[in-house]
Amino acid sequence: MLKSCHKFLLFHFNGFPRVLSYSSIGSLNYTTTTTTTTTKDESFTVNYLINNCGFPLDSALSVSKRILLRSSQNPDSVLTLFRSLGFSDSDLHLIIRKIPRLLLSNPTKTLLPKFHFFQSKDASASHFVRIFTANPYLLLRSLDNHLIPTYNLIYQYLQSDERTLVAVKRCVRLFDFADLQNNIKLLLDTGIREKSLAMLLRQWPWLLVYKFDYLRNKVDEIRNMGLDPSKSRFIAAIYAKALPKSMWESKAELYKMWGWTDETIHEAFVRHPHCMLISERKIEEGMQFFVNQMGWDSQLLVCYPVLLMLSLNKRVIPRASVLEFLLSKDLIPRAFIPHAYYISEEKFLQKYVSCFKDQAPQLLKLYEEKMSLSGTDDQCLS
């Protein structure tokens, strides 16, 4: 009887006897020990995040649910590496909050080679910080299978490490976008030149991280409007059409206040898509000057929308002063000469200033005075 009963113990729960085997008691002891160890590790994790990573208590408690630290050795090595590369405590807080498991990464085998790769491209500390704080998930991507091939793809069109790093810095999603290669192929197959693609990467790299179907629809829309894909303005047109529809409509309404119609807006856009990228303030100021001060018909600007993109203070007004002076002296015929505003500085001086130095020696001084009075213009793009 004793032999058969020694394997069991009797205990009471809520007044009723219960029987546990010795094996159950062993499991209970193991569970208690494990729970105690886990609680201890959780407490260590929370304290580490607070004391070493600058987390407030509530954030540390939240992040501790996604990572369990049992030692400070590896996390310390990871933090030391980041700080040696120029990452601030606030940068580290941001990165670890997004990907706490980075604290368990091997700093020598997993992280350092990725930093070394960018250093080999002359990336500065500011590049490191900007790229990896904006998209720390890149630190989880394979260097050989993802980061290097993507970098080389972008470099292929920019032909410069400096320009490639700037493009990535402006749009870090370039490194983590599945459709990047497909989007590039779409644009090239459409007829866009590599030179235009390089311009896109320099100015609006985020266009390449739109969903493939969305980008294809925009390309088809622009092509159906009559724009030539081989021209650089095709890229600007894609950007203009990719902006929120409300921005397009608001600018269209402003142009209509100056006498344009949907048809003339379309015509101006095909001629120079930037007319829908400049700010509403710049549109208004340009119209005020050319129509109200110069006395032009606003329809003339439909044919020359590029004039609305020019700096009023730094180019248009100084040149208008020269032309007005020449007209007052009957040195040039009274004719509509829009090209005088958008030709290069060298050509303008040669055609409208230098060649009249005998008849109007004060002309250069007048021009320089107007240039010196030029202030800061409104930003061209919205």
Beta strands (DSSP E) in the chain are: 8-13, 16-21
Q: Provide the residue count of the chain.
A: 382
Note the pLDDT of residue 17: 41
In this structure, is residue 37 part of a structural domain? no
Whether 221 and 257 share a structural domain: no
Interatomic CA distance for residues 206 and 135, integer angstroms: 14
Interatomic CA distance for residues 62 and 349, integer angstroms: 66
Range of the domain at 359: 310-382
pLDDT in tens, the chain (382 residues): 444 444 333 333 344 344 434 344 344 343 444 444 456 667 899 999 999 988 999 999 999 899 889 999 999 999 999 999 999 999 999 999 999 999 999 999 999 999 999 999 998 888 888 899 999 999 999 999 999 999 999 999 999 999 999 999 999 999 888 889 999 999 999 999 999 999 999 999 999 999 999 999 999 999 999 999 999 999 999 999 999 999 999 999 999 999 999 999 999 999 999 999 999 999 999 999 999 999 999 999 999 999 999 999 999 999 999 999 999 989 988 877 899 999 999 999 999 999 898 888 888 888 888 888 765 444 444 4
Interatomic CA distance for residues 192 and 200, integer angstroms: 11
Note the pLDDT of residue 7: 39
In this structure, is residue 30 part of a structural domain? no
Q: How many domains does the chain have?
A: 4
Whether 213 and 233 share a structural domain: yes
Whether 170 and 189 share a structural domain: no
Domain edge (last residue) among 277, 309, 341: 309
pTM of the model: 0.77
Domain edge (last residue) among 126, 149, 176: 176
Looking from the CA of 328 toward its CB, the CA atoms found within 13 Å total 8
What's the token pair of residue 378?
A: 């409104």
Cα distances from 368 to residues 167, 328, 353, in angstroms, run 37, 19, 11
Whether 320 and 296 share a structural domain: no
